[in-house]
Amino acid sequence: MTTYVYDFADGNRNQKDLLGGKGANLAEMTNLGLPVPPGFTITTEACRAFLDSGDLPEGMAEEVTAHLRSLEVAMGRELGDADDPLLVSVRSGAKFSMPGMMETVLNVGLNDRSVEGLARQGGDDRFAWDSYRRLLQMFGKTVLDIEGEHFEDALHAAKEAKGTQNDLDLDADDLRGLVETFKGIIRDQSGREFPQEPREQLDLAVRAVFESWNAPRAILYRRQERIPADLGTAVNICSMVFGNLGMDSGTGVAFTRDPASGHQGVYGDYLQNAQGEDVVAGIRNTVPLADLEQIDKPAYDQLMEIMATLEGHYRDLCDIEFTIERNKLWMLQTRVGKRTAGAAFRIATQLVDQGLIDMDEALNRVTGAQLAQLMFPRFGDTSSLKKLGRGMNASPGAAVGKAVFDSYTAVKWSRSGENVILVRRETNPDDLDGMIAAQGILTSRGGKTSHAAVVARGMGKTCVCGAEELDVDTKRRRMTAPGGVVVEEGDVISIDGTSGEVFLGEVDVVDSPVVEYFEGSLDPGSADADELVQAVHRVMEHADGVRRMNVRANADSGDDAARARRFGAEGIGLCRTEHMFLGDRRQHVERLILSDTDSERDAALEALRPLQRGDFEEIFEQMDGLPVTVRLLDPPLHEFLPDITELSVRVALAESRGDKNENDLRVLQAVHRLHEQNPMLGLRGVRLGVVIPGLFTMQVRAIAEAAAARKQAGGDPRVEIMIPLVGTVQELELVRDEGLQVLAEVAEETGVDLHALIGTMIELPRAALTAGQIAESAEFFSFGTNDLTQTTWGFSRDDVEAAFFSAYLDKGIFGVSPFESIDRDGVGRLVRIAAEEGRRARPGLKLGVCGEHGGDPDSVHFFHEVGLDYVSCSPFRVPVARLESGRAAAAEKAGHGSDSR
């Protein structure tokens, strides 16, 4: 029989799949002997069963009853008892942290009778009625789906009537009246009374947490963070401890290191006379955690000891939530903390230096996505700009955009191409879609542990929090800075997540020092290199030392090739020759298409050959000693001709003026002749080489002559010629034989021994399924995963991404676009089949990938698993691919699989 409920003492941190991250870590802290309030966890299995059937699984209610009874015995109180009530919190807790995306209900068990008992128990009427109004507000919003504004407006009205802006100024009588108001809101908005039966409150809260797994904001967050949709959430039921019992009580969030920079020290926020949600919501401004030493030194000292214990135990930055109840410290949660990209690299190398982890583990503590963030530009000179204010540097980066004051506008403007900065007093989980759409986030309240800061760091989004000197008026859609400077919605502002500064207008950006390091202009050992650059250098050195796969670049010019090499590329995996036919060379392609005779066609090809040869000479020079894979012409020829509509209009207008242009007429006829219903599946790739005599042989000759010239100059060109869109081995054999003949002719003419590998792209399902046959005539395979994805799914990428991909993502058909990350089950299976069958037919067959997936972190891990020899990507993504290739190898060595997260 399945067990659905576990006591905190029965689990451990390795059971996140079953107990969720929060439950597993509460169990771990309990087993470490730390002060954790007693409680129990309902498993993710129960959630999945509930979501599948719409009802709680059989036997779960009885297990909850048994564990609740044990909790009551341990605490010496009964849930919701009128005289001495036990109260509990009901919190979500998925395997992967999803801050603020699912539901929490505190003070479950309070009702009209037990609130009086709580007042006697605590010796404080105000505390009891404050706790009750919090339960009503959370329960109404979370369980009964009542808009939170109803409660917020009532609370605001109560404070206005009292003549205050501070919740703490409301006394017991004020809060008692507010409770009656809240109960009326529940009655009016939900059509039912607030449930007075404590067990009914508990059961409804558990259901609400389960249902919140599929709330729109949770779905959106999972999609953003690539968290699987089928995991479900656990529910943690924990005996309440109270931070709102007075000024000797409070609640806080602590980090064992600064999550923004990685530096060691005392980091976090504390709020006296408050419950936990007050801190992360950012509704009241907190004090720095260091101030707790003056407020309550014994609790502070104990917290410092516990933080050191947890960091040593987890061997990582820990994020901790705690409550102090009348000077007694309680630990409510710990987890490996989210951090900025820079902090991730610094912390990883710091932990190595402290002897807590080795370099393999350090490599797996960082990600390619984080490295990519560090390569983004940063602000340059700001001296000439108006500084509006300064807040906390919650998440680094440089963000510029138009100020918007709600999530709806952020999404709307972003979709129409505008860069926006989301400006709020504080964010809440309902702002997630706007936070994703915005370039950066600015709040006037909250600290480094507020909702805005935590979510922004997790997304790698620039964020400045707690800019208190800025008065944000969301209703009037404006922000006022000191000196009366007003920023209206639509005005451009710039926020610096590294310094916390906010500027009016657009700030110019400059290259990141990490890019300067990769470019070779910043020596990591020099005095100019900061701690971050040194950390990145150490991690990259180790990644390069352990990775099995090589990393090449997609480059079509000498300049691209040079930059790719500086970024660490070990060759070119895709040189697209069609890009060499653009610009002023298009006229020669047009002559080729319009040629009526063999001599006209040969003349057009001969005009193109020296131009191509010059391009290849530049690339071979920059990549001397490294392999260069040159793809023969791939796109349909009509792409080199004018647009059919534009040309038709031009011809018609000329005829209306009696001004015939014979060349335009010939081109228009050619456009009509070459027109195809689906050109991506028409006359392109190898088919061009078969039906247009001399086209591919001209290209092979240009490649061979450039290689011979390079060799004569003392160079070492390593040429690989790639034939695109092969679907059958006969196509490959025909073009390969012609190519071998040309190579032999050039070798004889120049007296240079030329050797070039000839292979093919695998970008059609038929090619993948007949890879064994094709490998008999191919010396290498390069997987063109862009087209392989199109042809496997039956998608025309240019059409489907705009037409219905957003709907597919919204409905969970895709977790992520298959053009962004490899579809392992479909496209990936074809890659695996082709790799296995190709190497079975030709042992040692060189395998690579040159689609955009070659720079995607998750895809790189898959290609490592399949056994490819290299990945190829754009020059800027080469460092990311190097890092992820190293991470894949280190993970395999450690025996825990390959994961890009």
- The sheet with strand 420-424 has its strands ordered as 386-390, 501-504, 492-496, 398-404, 420-424, 440-443, 462-465, 392-395
451 among known catalytic residues: yes
DSSP 8-class letter at 687: H
Amino acid code (one letter) for 506:
E
Structure tokens at 549: 């796969």
The torsion region of residue 163 among left (phi > 0), alpha (psi -120 to 50) and beta comes to left
850 among known catalytic residues: yes
Question: Which residues, 6+ apart, have CB-to-CB distance to 32 below 8 Å?
Answer: 309, 313
Structure tokens at 160: 């206005």
Angstrom distance (rounded) from CA 613 to CA 252: 67
Place of tokens 């003949």: 741
DSSP 277-323: HHHHHTSS--EEGGGHHHH-HHHHHHHHHHHHHHHHHHTS-EEEEEE
Angstrom distance (rounded) from CA 147 to CA 261: 37
The torsion region of residue 265 among left (phi > 0), alpha (psi -120 to 50) and beta comes to left
Structure tokens at 497: 């997540």
Angstrom distance (rounded) from CA 423 to CA 479: 8
Asked if residue 13 lies in contact with residue 24, where contact means CB atoms within 8 angstroms, the answer is yes
The count of other CB atoms within 10 Å of the CB of residue 382 is 16
In terms of residues, how long is the chain?
Answer: 901
Helix 198-212 vs helix 44-53: crossing angle, to nearest 10: 80
Asked if residue 145 lies in contact with residue 173, where contact means CB atoms within 8 angstroms, the answer is no
Helix 198-212 vs helix 60-75: crossing angle, to nearest 10: 120
User: Out of 150, 451, 537, 864, which one is annotated catalytic?
Assistant: 451
Asked if residue 690 lies in contact with residue 697, where contact means CB atoms within 8 angstroms, the answer is no
Strands 870-873 and 420-424, bridge-based pairing = unpaired
Angstrom distance (rounded) from CA 300 to CA 619: 62
Angstrom distance (rounded) from CA 548 to CA 867: 9
> In this structure, what are the phi and psi dihedrals at residue 265, rounded to the nearest 5 degrees?
160, -165
Identify which of 573, 548, 612, 555 has the alpha carbon closest to the alpha carbon of residue 757.
573
CA atoms within 13 A on the CB side of 893: 16
The count of other CB atoms within 10 Å of the CB of residue 865 is 15
**319-329: burial string, b at 16+ Cβ within 10 Å, e else:** bbbbbbbeeeb
Identify which of 320, 301, 295, 114 has the alpha carbon closest to the alpha carbon of residue 201.
114
User: Out of 47, 238, 318, 850, which one is annotated catalytic?
Assistant: 850
Angstrom distance (rounded) from CA 36 to CA 25: 11
> In this structure, what are the phi and psi dihedrals at residue 655, rounded to the nearest 5 degrees?
-65, -35
The alpha-carbon radius of gyration of the chain (Å, integer) is 32
Catalogue the active-site residues.
Answer: 451, 850
